[in-house]
Chain A
Amino acid sequence: MRNRLMRMQRRYLIELLTALGLIVAPFILPHLGFAPNTVNRILVWGLFGIGFDILFGYTGLLSFGQSAFYGTGGFVAAYLLTRAGFPNVFLALVIGMISAAAVGYLVGLIALRRTGIYFAMITVAIAEVFFFVEFNPLAAYTGGENGLPGVPTPSFNLGFTTLHFTTGWSLYQFLAVCYFVGIVIALRIVRSPVGKILSAIRENPLRAQAVGHNIHGYKLTAFVIAAAYAGFAGGLLGVLQAFMPPDAFTFDTSGQLVMQTAIGGIGTLFGPLLGAAVWLFLQDFLQSALGLGAAWKLVLGTVFVLLVTFLRRGIIGGIKDLYELATSRKKPPEATSAESLADFGSASDLDVVPMTLHKRAGDRSSGPILQVKGLSKRYGGLLANSDIDFTVNHGELRGVIGPNGAGKSTFFKMLTCEIAPTSGTIQFEGRDITGKSVTDACQLGLTKSYQVNQLFTQLTVRENLTVAVLADLRGKFKLDLFRNPASIPGLDAQVEHTMQLVRLAGRPDTKVSDLAYGEKRRLEIGLALATSPSLLLLDEPLAGMSPQERVETVKLLKSIGKGRTMIVIDHDMDALFELAERVTVLQEGRVLVEGTPDEIKANPAVQEAYLGGVLE
């Protein structure tokens, strides 16, 4: 009971500290030279930044166009309150937020067609359009370059008394509550299943897609969330200044938000608040105390460049690093990679029960699971695969071998729908999956482990597997933004089980970047396994392993193979002949021969393909 209470406290620790901080701030900050108005501006920037941090820090999408939504939310709210005679300030803010989110959805549809620098460029361009639209075509509504003066402050009629929030510390109370609610919601979102998937998208979008998540939908979700936060903050800006300024829409606004977030620390939710505090404090300090006048921005720009160069995780990131450095000695170390390999032997003796497959519609237990007819892939003049016919039955463990360049990996990529075949059809469990997406194929129960590790590098072993299991349990897209992942039935069990299966149970909280190569290889297989596929493809699972690791991994594959259909590509023939019941040999993009390991070993055509020319 007491334990549970402590866990509860721990879980809400951040929320509690935030509330405490917001309550004591008015008593402390004035002594540090913060004017109430400055503190209020910091809160508005901080709230604006929460959404941006979910988009950039968590999802990895750097937008330079957040001003578009800040301005939209601000002007919609201000218009309602000043020109349309709308009486309720809070409701106007909410309507502004919804408008910004709606605009964010439309903009996201276009901007998210591309990623990386393209995305950054497109958001800049779109934000610029909003700036011009505010100034010109919509000037009748927005006041053009004059903005909208006369935005009222909120008051709440509670029946027995009316609360007025006017300026300074009085308005602070209202803003602090808004910020607190904003941070509580954001914390729930980043801890929810969606939050985990967003981090996975940041780390490795291709793999997030391959384990069965509709990443476009989740990216759009993050974009809309960011727009909603921006819209609400924009409305608050109008309330704070009693005036909605047109420069909310400028590129400078977006730029300042980006810089403040980077200064405070990305991926922390509190970074933007801290960054804004540093920014606004230094601005005041440099301008008035040091009398630098307009040069303040030059100083801040220089500070920013140095910070990005040397302290890339910002102030909060720097503090975290220091803290970890200071406490690392006290923390009981997790099993090292050597120990975990040592426990391999004992673990593999324990016959781990194969995971119960979760039944999908159309699952059968006998007959062909995969039927490929006339599959070809042409790259310009190169025929990588030509007219392949290939059938695998339920429960089979099939090996695929072939010399380098035989088209094995291309073949696998077509099977998992990563690339579309030039011609031919693929039937999986009686369903034609030709031309489906890799996400859909995985959702149907067909996935693969990659030849080159495709992991979520900055996440832990547990988090990696959780992302994959979530796709299995929740489907490819679900907006459970406020759900606690612990409440998803079977999630923990499936993660634990997969960890045991791939012998990583000893290092659940180790980051992938700190794993040894062999461990990463096992996690790679684990990611595919965690989606509980009915057909698992393994692309060179033994590549790059030491002889000792190979022996262990073959054992591992055998145990995984129980009750499962698998196709394995590898160059290690001994291992493959030991594992597989039947072997298909590819050569120059065609099926050369198919048979039991013994037949293949004895086949002269295979010997010719591998040893060709030696006898001549």
Chain B
Amino acid sequence: MVNWPNFVSQLFNGLALGALLALISSGLTIIYGTLGVLNLAHGAMFMLGGYAGYVAYGYTESFVVAVLAGSLFVALVGIVMERVIIRHFYGRPHEDQLLVTFGLSIVFVELVRLVFGSQSLLVPPPPLFAGITSLGFLFYPTYRLAVVGIIAVALSALFIVLYRTRIGMIVRAGIEDSTMVDALGINVHRVFMIVFGIGAMAAGFAGIINAPVVSLTPGIGDDILVQTFVVVVIGGVGSFPGAILGGLIAGEIISITSMVNPGYAYVMLFAAMALVLVLRPYGLLGTRGRE
């Protein structure tokens, strides 16, 4: 017998997780699409956002400040990372880029572990969204509902940046054909830096928004990174709409399977990815030739 309130509650969980994954994956995918670099430290960016927010919250007890601090700090980390290391890897094989970003992710995770220890830390939700809300037939944590809204706003903001601004146009053009953009005399280096910053910020923002839902540990970004990969494979690399669609699908698959048996969540997620790879090798909304 299906327990309907439980089912609906899981659907909402899936929506919240899916929105979160969509935002993180968008960050990953615009970086890859524009710069051609798959950032394996993207999960670490998510984790850093949470910790930076945690610190800011500790000083100010303001959730808004925590969110701002978390996002901006990670954007800054992203920019510095691009300036100091990543830019030397544009001309090198993809495999080298994977290796160096993988190394960086370990450095970030271990650095945080050194400073904050391995025990889990919690950021409380903002007072405005504390408690639970009655949806008529079930009670649901208010903050989780708010997460969906907050991330929808963030994704819209990202959409506006990508589709309504000059830099967004360059980014989208770069995803289509980066050599051409380069040839048009656009200062790609500056654009790359900004894109890396924005992409990292998306993960950092998601990290602090998620902190009241799942407590912080240094390794929290690892699982998220794997899920993000699945999202990107399902949605199609370099596709912003694909990241959103893939995120929502992945979120629902994980939540609904968890209701039956959490042990199978990854198996189902993987099965979905395999199915997409067999039927549409370039992802649901991806196009050929972006590897």
Chain A residues with a Cβ under 8 A of chain B:
56, 60, 62, 64, 110, 113-118, 120-122, 124-126, 128-129, 131-133, 135-137, 251, 255, 258-259, 262, 294-295, 297-298, 300-302, 304-305, 308-309, 312
Contact = CB atoms under 8 A, between A and B. Distances in A.
B274 A110 contact: yes
Interface string B111-147: 1011000000000000000000000000000000000
Contacts of B223: 128
Contact of B233 (A118, A262, A298): A118
Interface stretch (B16-24, B187-195, B198-206, B258-266): B258-266
12 contacts: A113-B278, A117-B32, A121-B229, A128-B226, A133-B263, A136-B261, A259-B103, A294-B113, A297-B110, A298-B107, A305-B85, A309-B100
Given A113-B278, A298-B107, A125 B99 contact: no
Interface residues of B, number: 44
Contacts of B265: 132
A145 B119 CA distance: 20
A133 B271 CA distance: 13
A299 to B, nearest CB: 9
Residue picked from A56, A124, A308, most chain B C-beta under 10 Å: A308
Q: Closest 8 CB pairs between A and B?
A: A136-B263, A301-B106, A298-B110, A121-B229, A305-B103, A117-B38, A132-B266, A116-B291
Given A124-B229, A304-B106, A312-B96, 15 more contacts: A121-B232, A122-B277, A124-B225, A124-B226, A128-B226, A137-B264, A251-B226, A294-B110, A294-B114, A298-B106, A298-B114, A301-B110, A304-B103, A305-B107, A309-B88
Contacts of B164: none
A387 to B, nearest CB: 27
Interface string B196-216: 000000000000000000000
Give the one of B32, B230, B265 with max A CB within 10 A: B230
Contact of A120 (B98, B261, B278): B98
A258 B40 CA distance: 13
Contact of B85 (A114, A297, A304, A309): A309
Contacts of B222: 251
Contacts of A118: 233, 237, 291
A136 B269 CA distance: 15
A491 B266 CA distance: 49
B267 interface: yes
Given A113-B281, A301-B106, A295 B114 contact: yes
Interface in B11-53: 32, 38
Given A135-B263, A309-B88, A129 B114 contact: no
Nearest to A121: B229
Given A113-B281, A132-B267, A258 B110 contact: no
Interface string B241-269: 00000000000000000000111111101
A135 B263 CA distance: 8
B262 A136 contact: yes
B263 A137 contact: yes
A382 to B, nearest CB: 17
A384 B274 CA distance: 36
Contacts of A132: 263, 265-267
A83 to B, nearest CB: 20
Contacts of B274: 110
Contact of A113 (B110, B270, B277): B277
A115 B233 CA distance: 12
Nearest to A136: B263
Most chain A CB within 10 A, of B95, B107, B262, is at B95
B233 A122 contact: yes
Contacts of B98: 62, 64, 117, 120
B103 A295 contact: no
A132 B254 CA distance: 13
B166 interface: no
Nearest to B266: A132
Nearest to A134: B263
Which secondary structure dominates chain A's binding surface?
helix
Contacts of A60: 95
Nearest to B277: A113
B72 interface: no
Contact of A128 (B38, B106, B266): B266
A117 B267 contact: no
A110 B274 CA distance: 7
B155 interface: no
Given A62-B95, A122-B233, A308-B99, A114 B291 contact: yes
A297 B111 CA distance: 9
A478 B209 CA distance: 54
A98 to B, nearest CB: 23
A125 B274 CA distance: 10
B66 to A, nearest CB: 26
B267 A129 contact: yes
A275 to B, nearest CB: 12
B56 interface: no
Contacts of B106: 255, 297-298, 300-301, 304
Contacts of B264: 136-137
A120 B261 CA distance: 28
A215 B268 CA distance: 30
A301 B103 contact: yes
Contacts of B270: 125-126, 128-129
A135 B26 CA distance: 31
B152 interface: no
B76 interface: no
Contacts of B95: 56, 60, 62
A297 B265 CA distance: 30
B35 to A, nearest CB: 12
B68 interface: no
A125 B233 contact: yes
Nearest to A137: B263
B261 A305 contact: no
B262 A122 contact: no
A304 B98 CA distance: 12
A258 B278 CA distance: 28
A122 B273 contact: yes
B208 to A, nearest CB: 23
Contacts of A259: 99, 102-103
A549 B186 CA distance: 38
Nearest to B270: A129
Contacts of A297: 106, 110
A284 B283 CA distance: 44
A302 B226 contact: no
A308 B261 contact: no
B281 A114 contact: yes
A565 B33 CA distance: 44
A151 B172 CA distance: 56
B181 interface: no
B277 A125 contact: no
Nearest to A119: B291
Contacts of B233: 118, 121-122, 125
Given A121-B38, A121-B232, A312-B96, A137 B267 contact: yes
A297 B103 CA distance: 11
Contact of B99 (A114, A122, A137, A262): A262
Given A116-B94, A258-B99, A110 B277 contact: yes
Interface centre among A251, A259, A294, A309, by most B CB within 10 Å? A309
Contacts of A120: 38, 98
Contacts of A312: 92, 96
Given A117-B237, A136-B263, A137-B263, A308 B100 contact: yes
A305 B100 contact: yes
A115 B278 contact: no
Contacts of A64: 98, 102
Contacts of B114: 294-295, 298
B173 interface: no
Contact of B273 (A116, A125, A305): A125
Contact of B291 (A115, A124, A133): A115
